[in-house]
A and B are shown apart, each in its own frame.
Chain A
């Protein structure tokens, strides 16, 4: 302001004269306002600048409002939609993957459980079979043992019986040889059994 006033005052004479000249010389290309007024404060150019600013800025506003801004905002919107869509898709896929993983884990646990059960069962069966076999064998052995024992007992009893007989025979012979007498069988048997009792 200060500069312009000083400038304007200094050049006021010159300006008014050129101003007069401007009007007389309309049409001719000349530097109007060059006469001295500080150009940004020269009212002579205001009307033209306002008109052209209104035209150019108006056109610019329309171009922006009708073409550029809707276009950019649609680009940004499409991108935002696309990104959120992709994120949704990714989330969905992750959930699917999680579900598959959980199902797999479940299957695996089930299979493990089944495997244990099967192993246990097989083990039990094997044990049971072995036990049964063992018992059968033991039973057979016990039977054979009993049989053998019975046989042994029989043989022993028979042998013992023979022993009495042999002893009686021997005793008779001895008595006969030593004493020359005869001994009744009943006495001999009685004596042998008594001796056997004492010896036992």
Chain B
């Protein structure tokens, strides 16, 4: 069981809750969601509590994350996009901290479950759709009709645009989920090689050096992926929100 690379994604109920056959138990996943939110908001609130004119280290980190997300959003969606800043910042911080928590041994990775990433992606897409229709009415559908396309090609282009729009929540959620899942499985597999090879005696211990080096390298890579995927999620969110703000291509 300890070498089963899938075991780390197991959901286990900590406080079983059942509503008319609907299982709403507080699980290890829920625990790590709470931990993620507590750590992220606790850090941001605590680090900025000094309100220093000259920031300390912790306040610098909080300000840097703020400025980082703000500049990403401003670049992608303009100044108008700043009304979505709390959403984008929350998504970025939540995904980032959840991913980084997943790097601790024996910790559960919240973002390694497709339902979580899909729910976050749907939150983004529904925000885009609802805001788009609320702000632009039916003009929002102009998103699917790029200007300057010859009439004969237009139906095909519109079809492609619609398909690409519908695939957004799927690509957005699967990208994050698959990255976290694959990374953790790979890490686990290589770490498993180390233990199973070293059980074979002196030759095995010598042979275990290679997968151990791989596991170390992969750990570094996974930290990069944890950050990068949170960033990619935030950037794509900004780009999709830009469509809601400016539907005309």
Total interface residues on B, using CB and 8 Å?
A: 55
A107 at the interface (CB under 8 A from B): no
Residue numbers in B under 8 Å from A71 (CB-CB): 45, 48, 51
In the bound complex, CA of A127 to CA of B16 (Å):
119
- Size category of the A interface is 35 or more
For residues 29 through 68 of chain A, which have their beta carbon under 8 Å from a beta carbon of chain B? 29-34, 38-42, 44-54, 56-57, 59-61, 63-65, 67-68
* In the complex, residue of chain A having the shortest beta-carbon distance to the beta carbon of B85: A69
B235 at the interface (CB under 8 A from A): no
For residues 37 through 58 of chain B, which have their beta carbon under 8 Å from a beta carbon of chain A? 37, 40-41, 44-45, 48, 51-53, 55
* In the complex, residue of chain A having the shortest beta-carbon distance to the beta carbon of B40: A60
Residue numbers in A under 8 Å from B119 (CB-CB): 49-50, 53-54
Given the contacts A47-B23, A57-B37, A72-B62, A64 and B116 also touching, CB distance less than 8 Å: no
A55 shortest CB reach to chain B, Å:
8
In the bound complex, CA of A168 to CA of B29 (Å):
167
What per-residue 1/0 map shows which CB atoms of B1-36 lie under 8 Å from chain A? Answer: 000001001111110111001111111011001101
Measuring CB to CB, which residues of chain B are less than 8 angstroms from any residue of chain A? Answer: 6, 9-14, 16-18, 21-27, 29-30, 33-34, 36-37, 40-41, 44-45, 48, 51-53, 55, 59, 62-63, 66-67, 85-87, 89-90, 93-94, 110, 112-116, 119-120, 123, 177, 181
List 8 tightest A-B contacts by C-beta distance, closest first.
A52-B30, A65-B86, A56-B33, A68-B44, A63-B41, A39-B9, A60-B37, A45-B11
